[in-house]
A and B are shown apart, each in its own frame.
Chain A
Amino acid sequence: DTGVSQDPRHKITKRGQNVTFRCDPISEHNRLYWYRQTLGQGPEFLTYFQNEAQLEKSRLLSDRFSAERPKGSFSTLEIQRTEQGDSAMYLCASRDSLQYTQYFGPGTRLTVL
């Protein structure tokens, strides 16, 4: 059973550029979450998918952020016009419909210069 995978693991970009991250959940997990973690803080919830439907978005998810899960499998998180304040670890987690335990990927560390 492979775990949650995320790509890339690290991303350095210049302010104003767009970036996209990918998350592949555990197979057959139909629930998928994105979190953001800044230095010294615990992860903060960004958004939640049940299959391909995005059912909840945090207020942290500004209009520069968009997440998709087109076929109910992998998900992408795009940040447009990145700002230095977007520098953080972006974490993806998944679970199945019967259990509430979430399993996390290794994260994508974004640095905006």
Chain B
Amino acid sequence: KAGVTQTPRYLIKTRGQQVTLSCSPISGHRSVSWYQQTPGQGLQFLFEYFSETQRNKGNFPGRFSGRQFSNSRSEMNVSTLELGDSALYLCASYPGEGTDTQYFGPGTRLTVL
């Protein structure tokens, strides 16, 4: 089974721009979660989508949004980028129901200049 894939792997943007990151979960997984990791920080939870609906949401400003498509692929969007948004953005998938393990993609490294 293919793992979680994220595109692009690296991205450089300037302040004020917007960015869209993509995540394809493991086949059969219906839940996709997004996390932000900054240097020295743990994984900060952004949001989780399950069957095209946002099921959980972390404590991030409205500039961060996401969506999930019917094939479970998910996109995350950040508008009006700030320097502090530079981070590794991780996507994780899991079946979505019951007790199970969450698997991570390789991440997208976003640099905001």
Q: A and B, one complex?
A: no
